[in-house]
Amino acid sequence: MRQKTITNKVEIVGIGLHKGVPVRMELEPLDINSGIVFYRSDLGVSIPLKPENVVDTTMATVLGMGEARVSTIEHLLSAIAAYGIDNLRISLDNEEVPIMDGSAIGYCMLLEEAGISVQNAHKKAIAIKKPIEIIEEKKFVRVEPSEKMIFDFSIDFNHPVIGNQQYKFIFSTKAYKEEIARARTFGFLHEVNYLRSKGLAKGGDLSNCIVLDESGILNKEGLRYKEEFVRHKILDAIGDMALLGMPLLGTYVSFAGSHKLNHLLTKQLLSDERAYEVIELEDKAGEESLDYAYETH
């Protein structure tokens, strides 16, 4: 299995979820072994996608280097990981990645518009050798050995629309687009009002977020999936685990996981050399383990 980048440069203009300001985002191909690199075009600062560059996980995953910040990266990274892209430059002229419709489907469409190119170098993956777990009260995130990439997530909210939800996702690009990509971010009305009082969530509205009051959802169109809430948590987890810098060959399990716990998990995993092995995916078994079914050029 070979590394991938995009074929053509593409760009969009959108709104950031928290600051609510316009941002121009441009995706550009990069050479082999370059990885995913964010570039603040307004500041002239590059920020490689690495766990040590994470500076905040309070409301989203945020990268930083010096005074430069890139926020709310998890939805875009989720789509990039789902399409098996290894090398890419993401240029932004402001702090936040555009929120699109609150899911990852818009990024999927953007990547398909750009096209995917196979490169002349083997793709590498992190194969989990032993379980690693982060626990915070009743919440936990864990990775376990597995021959496939699997995300098994559970949540439990004291709300009539959400309640207890569990979803197990066995990775493939096709399955991601059908089962995960359209799941939107969500928030509670009282939290939205509080965040706005703190200068956050300024770009959030019913077009890019599921908003819940005490008894139901305010979005007239309803839900896109029965378990849209837990599916979005999987979407986030895929994006957060992309901070590893290569695909995860293992099972991710979580109850009520968060950006914070995901970040701690990536740091703990990479700090324990006995917990993983970096392998080259060069045979049919590797292709079956990580099923990137999107047509390449």
| 232 marked among binding-site residues | yes
How many other β-carbons are positioned within 10 Å of the β-carbon of residue 32? Answer: 16
Domain that holds residue 268: 125-280
Q: What is the b/e burial string over 97-111, where b = at least 16 CB atoms within 10 angstroms of the residue's CB?
A: bbbbbbbbbbbbebb
Whole-number Å distance between alpha carbons of 138 and 135: 7
Q: Please give the tally of structural domains in the chain.
A: 2
Domain at 117, CATH number: 3.30.230.20
Residue with tokens 């009082």: 197
What is the reported pLDDT for 94?
96
77 and 142 fall within a common domain: no
What is the reported pLDDT for 284?
45
User: Is 259 an active-site residue?
Assistant: yes
What is the reported pLDDT for 291?
76
| 75 marked among binding-site residues | yes
| 42 marked among binding-site residues | no
pLDDT tens digits along 205-241: 899 999 999 999 999 999 999 999 999 999 999 999 9
Check 18, 159, 190, 259 and give the catalytic one.
259
Q: Are 152 and 252 in contact (CB under 8 A)?
A: yes
DSSP state of 185: P
What is the reported pLDDT for 199?
65
Mean pLDDT per block of 10 residues along the chain (297 residues) reads 97 87 96 98 97 94 97 98 98 96 98 97 97 97 97 97 98 98 93 70 83 94 97 98 97 98 98 96 60 58
149 and 189 fall within a common domain: yes
What is the reported pLDDT for 121?
96
Residue 288 lies in a domain: no
106 and 13 fall within a common domain: yes
